[in-house]
Amino acid sequence: MTFEELAWSFVEVYEELDIAQINEVLRENTPVEALEFFFAYANQVRTEEGLVDDEQGADRLAELMLVGYLIHALQERLHPELRPAA
C-alpha cells in the first residue's frame, strides 16, 4: 500500500468516527504535548500571523495537523522499516 492509499483509507475511516471515537483515537495515539502544540500553533497562526481568519479556521488547521500526525503514526506502525535512520 502506498502512502497515498494509506492516507485516503485513513481519511475514509476517520470521517465515519463520532466524537467519542475520535477522542479515543487521539487518547491512544497522540501525546498530550502534540495536541497542545497543534492547537497552540494554529491559534498563533490565527492571532499573530493573520493567516487564518477566525477561531473555527484555527480549529480546522489544528485538526488537519492532527490527521497528518495520525496518518504518519499509522504508517510507522504498518511499515517500521521505512522509518528514517536516527
Q: Residue-wise pLDDT tens for the chain (86 aa)? A: 788 888 899 899 999 999 999 889 989 999 999 999 998 888 888 777 766 777 777 788 888 889 899 998 888 888 777 666 55
Buried b (16+ CB within 10 A) or exposed e, 50-83: eebeeeeebeebbeebbeebbbeebbeeeeeeee
d(CA 69, CA 63): 10
Round the CA-based radius of gyration of the chain to a whole number and report it: 14
HEC string of 63-86 equals HHHHHHHHHHHHHHHHCHHHCCCC
